[in-house]
Structures are given as structure tokens and as C-alpha cells.
Amino acid sequence: MLAPGCSAPLPRWCGLFISLTLTTSAALASAPSLVFDFGRTAECRDVTAELLAESDQDATSLHDLKVVELNLRVSVHVMKGDIRDVEEVRIDIGDCDSRIRVDSFAPTTQLQSDFSKDIAVTKTTEHGKSLGASLGGEAPVPVGDLVAHVLPSANAGLNKREVLTEQQTRVAPRYAVVTSGTINQEHGVFFKLHASPQTTLEGSHELTVRFVVPENWRGDSLRVCCHATGEQKFLWTKQQATWSRMCAPLAIYLAGDQQARLAAEEHVAQHSL
């Protein structure tokens, strides 16, 4: 191989370098690119009375506290590439200054199977037995000029066939489509959305988080981070790759509190500059 404008051949490793460059460029060109979207402000509904009714708790267990519920809609849109290359979307929702604590969240961890019901297995086994006996003696029987010795015998046989059928029901294998839990000492929560043949990661995802806050709480600031990951093929191996990532502030306020809503909008405007 000759370098442009030169008569001397390039070293052998140059061809390998060019091949690696082209391979890497092709992999990056086919990598999926995603956009995450959610509102920068959200109201939280006071659900203290509902929670006490659902769990049959005493009101004293939430002395000077209340529980508020956040409903957040996160949309995932593929701008380039194939959504099938995205194996997981992770969404973290956390308190910036660790002043409020997570009470509960949804969706919780969910398992899914490719089978509509459990698997039935039937096993059939056959067993056979036989019994035989022989009695004989020697008696001369003339055949022409020769004498043949014949052994008369008697056979008794007993055949027995046994068929055993065993039926079992096995639980169909399942895999996680959603995993979720708390982070940062229960001051935040994570949601992992996994790809599956029956669901799609692209589209809108509804997330719910309930926070325990002071009784006089009116609003707060959260941070939402979204990641999309998958496997990227590089030469002869596959390695984990982050296709897209975004972090943004989320200002929350108590539903029905007009001043708190205006303060949340102002907070987002200042941090978006």
C-alpha cells in the first residue's frame, strides 16, 4: 500500500490501523441515539389520608409528617438506530439535599415469561418381565441308516408389561422487565426498564413515587437522570456501552398551592440558563 504522493509502501500495521478505524466508525454510525423528555415541574398530591386508610395505620405514626405522591411521565424517543439495540433504560429520581424520604414507588419489580402458562411435562416408563423353563431327554429316532438324538422340551413363559406415567407442572422461566428500588439511603429511587419480546422501551413510561415530607412542606427540588445502555460490538468482542444520557432538575410543589407552583417554575427557569 502506497501513501498518497509517496512511492514508498506503508508499513503493514497501517493497514490494520485503517481497518480498525473503519470498523469503529461503522459501529458508531449504527449506534442508537435516544432523547428523553419529561416536564421540569410537577405537582404532588397529598395522599396521607389514603395511605392511612390503605395500611390501617395510626395517625400518630406520621406525627408532624405527611405523604405526597409524584406522578412523572418520562418519554423515550429513538432518533437514530434500532431500539432493539437498547437493552435497558434506567431512570433515577433523587432528592438533591436529602431532606425528603421515599415511602413507596411504582412500578415495582416485575417478571415476565414468554409462555402463557406453566409448562406441563409427561414422562412414560415401560417395564417388561419374562419367565421360561426347559425339560428334555435323549431318545433315538431312526432316520434312514442314521440314529438322530432328539431333545424333547417343554417351555413355560410369563410376560408382564408395566407402564408408568408421571406428570409434572413446571413454572415457566421468567425474566425481569422492570426492576426498581431505593438509592441514596432512601432519598431517591431508581427504575430499570428492560427490553423484552412483548414490550418496547420506546414510548411513554408512567412512574409514581410517594415521599414522606414535613407537615408544612410546600415544594422541593429533585434531579432526574436517564440512561440508555446496551452491548456494542467492537472487533471480535462485545462491550457495554451507554447510548444516551441526560440529567435535569425537577421542581415539585404541593397541588393547589399557587405560590409554590410559581416558585417551582422560577427555580427551573434559573437552572435552565
Cα dihedral value 267, 90, 102, 39, nearest 10: 30
Residue 22 within any structural domain of the chain: no
Residue 6 within any structural domain of the chain: no
Which position has the grid cell 415469561? 113
Domain boundary residue among 127, 143, 170?
Answer: 170
Do 235 and 194 belong to one domain? yes
Check pLDDT > 80 for residue 59: no
pLDDT digits (tens, 9 = 90+) for 232-254: 776 677 788 888 999 999 999 99
DSSP string, 48-104: HHHHHHHHT--GGGGTTEEEEEEEEEEEEEEEES-GGG--EEEEEEEESSS-SEEEE
Which position has the grid cell 433315538? 140
Residue 78 within any structural domain of the chain: yes
Do 69 and 152 belong to one domain? no
Where is average pLDDT lowest: 64-68, 96-100, 146-150, 226-230? 146-150
| pTM score | 0.69
Residue 141 within any structural domain of the chain: yes
Do 193 and 159 belong to one domain? no
Do 108 and 123 belong to one domain? no
Specify which residues 250 forms β-bridges with: 222
Domain that holds residue 162: 119-170
Check pLDDT > 90 for residue 137: no
Do 108 and 185 belong to one domain? yes
% of residues, the chain, pLDDT over 90: 41
Q: Which three cell numbers stand for residue 141?
A: 429316532
Domain boundary residue among 170, 186, 202?
Answer: 170
Q: Which three cell numbers stand for residue 228?
A: 440508555
Q: Which residues lie below 8 Å from residue 8, measured CB to CB, with a gap of 6+?
A: 2
Residue 108 within any structural domain of the chain: yes
Do 125 and 181 belong to one domain? no
Check pLDDT > 60 for residue 146: no
Do 67 and 187 belong to one domain? yes
DSSP code at position 59:
G
Cβ atoms 217, 45 nearer than 8 A: no
- Of 157 and 242, which is predicted with more confidence? 242
pLDDT band at residue 147 using 50, 70 and 90 as cut-offs: low
Q: What pLDDT does 270 receive?
A: 84
Do 182 and 259 belong to one domain? yes
Cβ atoms 107, 74 nearer than 8 A: no
Do 44 and 123 belong to one domain? no
Q: Which three cell numbers stand for residue 23?
A: 470498523
Do 94 and 184 belong to one domain? yes
CA distance 23 to 15: 12
How many domains, in total, are found in the chain? 2
Residue 18 within any structural domain of the chain: no
What is the domain-level CATH number for residue 241?
A: 2.60.40
In angstroms, the Cα distances linking 180 to 13, 89, 152, 243 are 48, 12, 84, 21
Do 40 and 89 belong to one domain? yes
The string over 74-93, giving b where at least 16 C-beta atoms fall within 10 Å of a residue's C-beta and e elsewhere, is bebebeebebebbebbbbbb
Do 164 and 184 belong to one domain? no
Q: Which three cell numbers stand for residue 259?
A: 405560590
